Structure 1
Amino acid sequence: MKGIPKFHAKAMGYCSYRTACQYPSGKNSLKQPTVRLTGNTLYLPKLKGGVKLVLHHSLPEDAHIENVTLSMEMDGSVHASICYSYTLLVDMTLQEAAMDGAHPEGTTFLGLDYSQHDFYVDNGGRKANYPKYYRKSEERLALLQRKLSHKEKNSQNYRKLLKQIRKLHTKIKNQRKDFLQKESTRLVKAYDVIVVEDLDLRGMGGALSLGKNLHDNGFGMFRNMLAYKLRRKGSCLVKVDRWFPSSKTCSCCGHVLESLELSDRTYVCPACGNTMDRDVNAAVNICEEGKRIFPDYLKKILQEEQEASDKAKRKGRQKAA
C-alpha cells in the first residue's frame, strides 16, 4: 500500500520502527527538521512523501518533536506514536501543601477498591460496570479458532481465518484501551487525589479463578493512566499498602475482623452492627487511609523524581565530558 512502511522484522509479530527528529544547525539552519507534522500529514526521512494520519489530538503550539515510532498491529493497521516535549503549567498547590505535611481544605479524594465483577467500586458505592469486551467476543473467537484448526497450515483459507482472528483481538484491545482512557480522564477531572490498593496484579493474574477477568479489564493499565494524568495535574495516585486490612476493617467504628472469606459479599460488624457491601466498605477505608498518608506519599514521589532528574543530568555531563 502506498505510504505504508514495509517492516523487515526477524521476530514474527514485532514490527516497529523509530526515527529521531534532527534539527539542522549552522549552514543548514534554514532547512526543515527531518520529522515534521504539517496538518494531518507526517513527513519522515525514510518514506517518500508524507503519510496522512488520523490524529487522536492536535499537538500543542510549542511542541518540540523528539522522535516518532511507527508500529504495525496484528491486523495490519499502522500507528504513529509521536514523542514531543512542551511547556506545561502545573498547579503547585497540593505539592506545596504536602511539603508542609498537610493538604488544602476542599481537596477531593476518591477511594477505589478493585472488583472482579464491576472493575472497581468507589467509596460512594458507584461502580464502573466494565463492559467485559473479551467475554463478549469469546464465543466468536472460539468459533474462528476451531475453524482455523481444521485448515491446512499456510493455505489461503488458513491465512484468511488467521487475519480475522488477529483483527478481532485488535478490536478487543482497542475497545479496552478506549474505555480505560475515557474512564481515567473522567475521574482525574472530577477528583484531586485518587487512592487505590497496591495489589499484586501479576500474582492475581496467575490464579485460575481470577486471571481471565484481570487480563480482560486491564486494571494495571488503568492505574498507570491514573498515575500519569494525576501527575500532569500536580497531584499523584496514592497506593495503599497491600497488607492494609481494608476489607476486614469496619469503616464506622474501626473494628477489624479476624477472618473474612472472599465469598462473603456483605460486611457485618460485630462491634457496632454496621452492615454494608463489602467492596464499598473497603473503598471507604482505602479513601481514609489515602487521606492520612497523602502528604508523605506525595513528598516521597517528588523526592524520587528530583533524584532521578539529578542522576540523568549527571549522566549527561559525563557523556559530554
Structure 2
Amino acid sequence: MYIEQGYRGQLGLWKYLVIPTGFIGIIIINYIAVLNTPQSTDEIMQVMVDKIGSNLVLITMLLPLAIALFILLVWVKLIHQQSITSLTTSRKKIDWKRILFSFVLWGAITAFFVVLDYYLNPENYIWNFDLVPFLSLVVIAILLVPLQTSFEEYLFRGYMMQGIGIFAKNRWVPLVVTSVLFGLMHIANPEVEKLGYGIMIYYIGTGFFLGIITLMDEGMELALGFHAANNLVTVLLVTATWTAFQTESVLKDVSTPKLGYDVFVPVFIIFPILVFIFSKKYNWNRWKYRLTGEVEKSKLELKS
C-alpha cells in the first residue's frame, strides 16, 4: 500500500507542514508579485533572455527546484527517518522499468503531436535550430529537468500524498488536495496570463491524472517518467515567447495564443487512454478502494 509507506517514517504534523507550507508560501508571494507588476510575465522573461541568454534563464528557473529536491529528500531521511524507496513506491525497490516505460511512451506521444501539428500548421512555427546553443540546452535539460520534475512529483505525489493520506485516513482527500495544489502551483505562469484561468483545467487535470496513476500503481514511478518526458520534450522540441520555458528549442511557436482543443484533449481523451494502457499493462484492480479507500497502518503491517 503506497500511502501507508509513510508509516515507515517518524510522523508528526509539524514535520509534514514545514516544506509544503514554505513552498506554497513562495508560490503565493510570486503570484502576488506578478499581479502587482506593471509588465507582463512574458515581457519580463524576454528582458531576462535578452540580457543573459535563454540557457542561463533556464538554469535560474530549474536550479532552485533541483536543489529543493535534495532538501526534501534529506528532510525525509533525517527528520522523518524514512527511506527514499518507501517515499517512492510500495515495492521493495524502485521500478526503473516503470519509469522508463512511462517516459518513452509519453515522450513519443508528445513528440508525435508536435511534429504532426508542425506539418499540418507550418505557419504557426519557425525553425529555430542552432547546433551550438541547442547542444548546450540538451546538457542543461538532461541534467536539470528530471530533477525539477522529480521535486514536484516527490513533493505532491510523494510527500504530501502520504502525509495528507495518513492524517485524513483515506485516499480521496490527498488525491483531491494534491491535484488542486499542483494545478494552482502554475497560476503565475505566463500561459495563464495569456490564455486565462481556463488553462487551469489542464494543470489541475494533469495533477489528477498523475495522482490517479500513483495511487492505482501503488508508487510514483509512472508519474516520475511521465513528468520528466513532458517537460524534457517541451524544452527541447518547441517553446514560445509566452510560455514558462523559453529555450533554444528546435521549433518556436509563433501562433497567436488561444485557449483551444489542445488544452482539453489531453485531460479528457489522452490521459484516460493512458490510464487504460497502464491499467492493462500492470493489471490494476480494486479501483474504488485504491482511489478512495481507508488508509490503515494495519494493512502495512500485514504486508511487511
TM-based fold match above 0.5:
no
Which has a greater percent of strand? Answer: 1
CA radius of gyration, larger in: 1
TM-score (norm: length of structure 1):
0.25
Which has a greater percent of helix? Answer: 2
TM-score (norm: length of structure 2):
0.26
